[in-house]
């Protein structure tokens, strides 16, 4: 069964992914099982998506109930779950309005479009350039890969879209120098995810906010990976004592159903009028009702507190490993967005972990990233740390 699926996949699916040779068939909480019946503790969570773990009974219940009522009608009409989800997000964030779509890239696409349009409406058409960060990741559509500060993501797709400049993350002077007459916004992940789990220096994001205020730029936070509790707050910006003008969400927002959202303050949001932007599937009743349940569980069951607590514990344990093994050059991250940078490639360690029943993630060749469901138990963290200790 296993081999047949893999052989067939290699024939009929575009070869965009380098996959591990297992077929995952089901999950429960922080565990998944493959077609051979092997069990894995999941420290990947669908790349920071399944924050409440797999097959959560309350989510399943809402999904089934809503499937029996209404899946989709288009945004020609009002639907209750979409309005409820938008209200929840507005009440629990800096934002006044929400645009719904289906993925992270689309949410960033909406953020880029609204930023440009905001300045057009103000009569400042010459301001269309967004400053983004080196080593950032914002998606794979033409606009979002143009906004992504990694050569390997852009390679082969020239000419990329005009209107994106890059500066090093955590370098406020470089940002100040880059602002010019065509600059309209700054796009930044408060903690860089795919680029290597890089945290901002203390006060850096506040200074970015200051630069934006002084020069009239819109500040866009890409919280697609950091949002929905991942860093130990509902949104990462809450750690840093400032608010963006625009924020994008996706990944964990519906715990595995595809959803994206672009949130903005009123003065920015009003740049989107009827017909200016749209998405057929954006905010369907099925996806938004699930998302609303995800957010209810997250707040009612105090899962973000748990994330902060076990995240701190996990980081301590990783630093303990670092003390014991010279090949670990750095341990970084916040909440349950953590990583361990190695002075060797991470692939063989990852494969050994997998053989021993742990799914972990390797980015940029030598950085092991740990992004488990936020409900992960300390015992599971200990088991992984012991496994890593033995392998190293
Ligand atoms: C995953 C990710 C994206 C892209 O999301 P997709 O849903 O894959 O389009 C964009 N920005 C950040 C920070 C991400 O982590």
Pocket test for ligand 1, best of 194, 247, 252, 253 (most atoms within 8 A of CB): 194
- Mean pLDDT, residues 235-249 taken together: 98
Q: CA 56 to CA 303: how far, in whole Å?
A: 14
- Protein residue closest via CA to atom 5 of ligand 1: 104
Give the Cβ contact number of residue 81 at 10 Å: 22
- Mean pLDDT, residues 119-127 taken together: 97
Q: pLDDT digits over 17-41, tens only?
A: 999 999 999 999 999 999 999 999 9
Q: pLDDT digits over 275-293, tens only?
A: 999 999 999 999 999 999 9
CATH fold for domain 60-300: 3.40.640
As given in the structure block, the two tokens for residue 271 are 């740049």
- Mean pLDDT, residues 152-166 taken together: 97
Pocket test for ligand 1, best of 44, 47, 104 (most atoms within 8 A of CB): 104
Mean pLDDT of the chain: 97
Residue 330's H or E segment, with its range, is: strand 328-334
Q: pTM value?
A: 0.98
Give 171's pLDDT tier (boundaries 50, 70, 90).
very high
CATH fold for domain 2-55+302-391: 3.90.1150
Would the pLDDT of 111 be above 90? yes
- Mean pLDDT, residues 99-125 taken together: 98
Q: CA 141 to CA 90: how far, in whole Å?
A: 27
Question: Among candidates 359, 268, 316, which has minimal Cα distance to 40?
Answer: 359
Q: CA 361 to CA 364: how far, in whole Å?
A: 10
Q: CA 132 to CA 144: how far, in whole Å?
A: 11
Q: pLDDT digits over 302-323, tens only?
A: 999 999 999 999 999 999 999 9
- Mean pLDDT, residues 217-246 taken together: 98
Q: CA 86 to CA 295: how far, in whole Å?
A: 12
CA of 107 to the centre of ligand 1 (A): 9
> What per-residue confidence (pLDDT) applies to 359?
98
Would the pLDDT of 147 be above 70? yes
Question: Among candidates 30, 31, 36, which has minimal Cα distance to 5?
Answer: 36
Indicate if the alpha-carbon torsion angle 349, 352, 357, 359 is positive or negative: positive
Would the pLDDT of 235 be above 70? yes
Would the pLDDT of 2 be above 90? no
- Mean pLDDT, residues 220-236 taken together: 98
Domain 2-55+302-391 and domain 60-300, same fold? Reply is no
CA of 4 to the centre of ligand 1 (A): 31
Q: Where are the domains of the chain?
A: 2-55+302-391, 60-300
Would the pLDDT of 148 be above 90? yes
Would the pLDDT of 218 be above 60? yes
Give 3's pLDDT tier (boundaries 50, 70, 90).
confident
Pocket test for ligand 1, best of 135, 136, 137 (most atoms within 8 A of CB): 137
Helix (H, G, I), strand (E, B) or coil at 62: helix
> What per-residue confidence (pLDDT) applies to 1?
56
- % the chain with pLDDT above 90: 99
CA of 123 to the centre of ligand 1 (A): 31
Q: Which residues line ligand 1 (CB under 6 A)?
A: 103-105, 108, 137-139, 189, 193-194, 222, 224-225, 250-251
Would the pLDDT of 260 be above 90? yes
> What per-residue confidence (pLDDT) applies to 314?
98
């Amino acid at each position: 069964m296993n081999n047949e699926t893999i052989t067939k996949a290699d024939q009929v699916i575009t070869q965009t992914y380098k996959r591990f040779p297992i077929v995952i068939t089901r999950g429960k909480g922080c565990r998944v099982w493959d077609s051979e019946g092997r069990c894995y503790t999941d420290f990947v969570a669908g790349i920071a998506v399944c924050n409440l773990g797999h097959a959560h009974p309350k989510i399943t219940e809402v999904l089934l109930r809503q499937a029996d009522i209404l899946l989709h009608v288009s945004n020609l009409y009002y639907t209750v779950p979409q309005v409820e989800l938008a209200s929840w997000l507005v009440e629990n964030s800096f934002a006044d309005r929400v645009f719904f779509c289906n993925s992270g890239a689309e949410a960033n696409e909406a953020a880029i479009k609204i930023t440009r349009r905001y300045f057009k409406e103000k009569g400042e058409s010459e301001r269309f350039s967004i400053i983004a960060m080196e080593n950032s990741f914002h998606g794979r559509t033409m606009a979002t890969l143009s906004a992504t500060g990694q050569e390997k993501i852009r390679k082969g797709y020239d000419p990329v879209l005009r209107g994106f400049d890059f500066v090093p993350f955590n370098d406020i002077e470089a940002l100040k120098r880059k602002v010019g007459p065509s600059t309209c916004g700054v796009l930044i992940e408060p903690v860089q995810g795919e680029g290597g789990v890089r945290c901002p220096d203390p006060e850096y994001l506040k200074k970015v906010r200051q630069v934006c205020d002084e020069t009239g730029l819109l500040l866009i936070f890409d919280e697609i990976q950091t949002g929905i509790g991942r860093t130990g707050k509902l949104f990462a910006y809450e750690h840093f004592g400032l608010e963006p003008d625009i924020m994008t969400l996706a990944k964990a927002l519906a715990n595995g159903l595809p959803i994206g959202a672009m949130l903005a303050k009123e003065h920015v949001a009003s740049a989107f009028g009827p017909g200016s932007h749209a998405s057929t599937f954006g905010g369907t009743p099925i996806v938004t009702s699930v998302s609303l349940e995800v957010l209810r569980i997250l707040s009612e069951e105090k899962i973000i507190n748990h994330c902060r607590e076990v995240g701190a514990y996990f980081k301590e344990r990783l630093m303990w490993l670092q003390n014991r093994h010279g090949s670990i050059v750095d341990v970084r991250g916040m909440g349950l967005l953590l990583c361990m940078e190695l002075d060797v490639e991470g692939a063989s360690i990852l494969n050994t972990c997998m053989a021993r029943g742990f799914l972990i993630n390797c980015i940029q060749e030598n950085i092991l990233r740990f992004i488990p469901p936020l409900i992960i138990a300390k015992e599971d963290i200990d088991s992984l740390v012991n496994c890593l200790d033995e392998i190293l």
